[in-house]
Amino acid sequence: MTQNTNGRDGAVLSRPGKVAVVTGASTGIGEASARRLCADGWTVYAVARRAERLEALARETGAIAAPCDITSEADVAALRDEVLGEQGRVDALLNISGGARGTDWVAEAKDEDWEWMYRVNVLGTMRITRAFLPALRENGQGTVLTSPPWPPSAATRAGAGTTRRSSPSTG
């Protein structure tokens, strides 16, 4: 039975028999998304690097724990092959993984923090989307949802999307 919603009560569309891949499923929004989709009858592949958290989620919800480092082309290809080999389809990809490291001001920022964020938040999201896009298109109703990887305050403090003028008198 399909449950329609106006989006105001937090309900989502119930889609029994549908298959979703949820990245970042070991914690936070990714975990909550995986829980909700499982509760609504979806087959959910819960994806993250932390296998122990995924196993706990799988025991609690019936999700399929799928440890994967989305920055690794080989891991992403293996995940795609697993999902499509077992299910023959994918209906939704929720790109929730990512994060912020080193929320220092830009002047004090460390290159390795920004490189990590770029590898995970940009390249990892691109890799997993690229891997599943043909299957999502093939079923004619595929959905890709990409969530911003960090809270706006962290990104702003780190200097992303903003500039700050300084002068000798204002620092």
Task: State both tokens at 103.
Answer: 């929320």
Read off the pTM: 0.78
Mean pLDDT to the nearest integer, 117-122: 89
CATH homologous superfamily of 19-158 equals NAD(P)-binding Rossmann-like Domain (3.40.50.720)
What token pair was written down for 18? 């549908």
What the block records as the tokens of 31 is 């975990």
Which pLDDT tens digit goes with each residue over 38-94? 999 999 999 999 999 999 999 999 999 999 999 999 999 999 999 999 999 999 999
Residue 122 scores a pLDDT above 70: yes
When mean pLDDT is compared across 21-35, 49-63, 137-151, the lowest value belongs to: 137-151
Question: What does DSSP assign to residue 17?
Answer: T
Angle between helices 28-39 and 51-61 (to 10 degrees): 30
Q: Residues 92-109: what's their mean pLDDT? A: 87
Which of 40, 47, 45 is CA-nearest to residue 84?
Answer: 45
- pLDDT for 80: 98
Residue 14 pLDDT: 54
φ, ψ (nearest 5 deg) of residue 47: -115, 130
